[in-house]
Structure 1
Amino acid sequence: MADDTQQDLLDSSHWGPVWGLLHAADRDIAALYDEAGVTGLRTRFVGPLIKLGRHGPMTIQELATAVEVTHSAMSQTAAAMRAAGFVDSADSADGRTRRIRLSERGRELLPLLQAEWRATEATVRELEAETPYPLSRAVEDINAALARRSFKQRLADNLARALDGDLR
């Protein structure tokens, strides 16, 4: 078997299996909605829709903070949710900020969305209980390593090595 240190890094995707795992789970969740006859629903909508259902109308920034994404990402998601008919504009006391709320369609789907979220969380916990080293623990350990030295700094250091020809 070839030594991994001899492999050109352009021929690898070390975290590819992690992305594959997450995308496969996402596809399975989306399939549940398709089987239920829900059209236009993307899995990335579910968290924000649940937050709106639990907390009422929110600004894009409030929603972005609540689901831990950037304002820009939430702005795009909100526009897509509006186009799909899951949210609409809400009255705002402050004319400088725009709030969104669940539309009638979003409110109708909320029980299914909440049930799926709970089922997904239970499934993930069940899977982790079957593994000797849970993915959530791996993420905690990686975050601890990144607290000592950021991904950005590591990347910059390795980019300099690659540009110098020291990284293959």
Structure 2
Amino acid sequence: MADAPTPDPTPDPTEQSLWRPLRLLQASMDADVARIYTGERIAGLKPSYVLELLRLHARGPMTITELAESVGRTHSALSQKVAAMRAAGWVETVAGPDARSKKVALTDRARGLVGRLAAEWRATEAALAEIEAELPYPLSRVVTDIEQALARKSFHDRIAERLAEDPAWE
């Protein structure tokens, strides 16, 4: 039997994370939205699909590139999401204006649910506004302030400066 490896005596940098609590909070809130769907017996719907489903309902079928641009995502990320949404039965691929292009469209199942999804979106936004009203410094303001700070100096440049000072990076 081999000896167990000796643990590295240097501290684990992942033990500290300023924004992990924010990611965990958002995951918890998304889980609460998913509980709404489960309670309504809406199988296979993830909260992360709703933006794209509502966008397709509002604007009609779009190419993956068009949909990605409309929701501020990369083509690659949206392509993966569309594949998952297609597998779950929420979207389908239809012929585009020429033989080479395809568009993403809602399935009948999704079209039958978009009114309820829009209601959930409005209720979620209202609940978020209620929470923000309880805070001395709302998250939406934090996001704007961070965007302004990043306009002054990018996140990339801030990280690169710290790495240049760290001998372990060399």
CA distance in 2, matches of 1:46, 1:74: 13
**Residue type at the aligned position of 1:39:** A
CA distance in 2, matches of 1:102, 1:116: 18
**Residue type at the aligned position of 1:136:** S
Q: How does 1:137-148 map to 2 (within 5 A)?
A: 137-148=141-152
| Larger Rg, first or second structure (1 or 2) | 2
Find out whether 1:149 has 2:153 as its counterpart.
yes
2:6 is matched with which residue? none
CA distance in 1, matches of 2:108, 2:14: 49
Calculate the aligned-residue CA RMSD, in Å: 1.7
CA contact (8 A) 2:95 2:101 kept: no
What stretches of structure 2 of length at least 5 have no aligned partner? 1-10
Give TM-score scaled by structure 2 length: 0.88
| 1:102-156 deviations in Å (ceiling 9; x for gaps) | 0011111111111111111111111111110000101111110100110011111
- Percent of pairs with identical residues: 47
1:26 is matched with which residue? 30
CA distance in 1, matches of 2:158, 2:69: 27
**Residue type at the aligned position of 2:136:** P
Find out whether 1:53 has 2:80 as its counterpart.
no
What stretches of structure 1 of length at least 5 have no aligned partner? 1-6
By relative contact order (CA 8 Å, sep 6+), the higher-ranking structure is 1
CA contact (8 A) 2:64 2:79 kept: yes
CA distance in 2, matches of 1:18, 1:8: 20
Q: How does 1:41-80 map to 2 (within 5 A)?
A: 41-80=45-84
Q: How does 1:2-151 map to 2 (within 5 A)?
A: 9-151=13-155
Structure 1 residue ranges (4+ consecutive) displaced by more than 6 angstroms after TM superposition: none
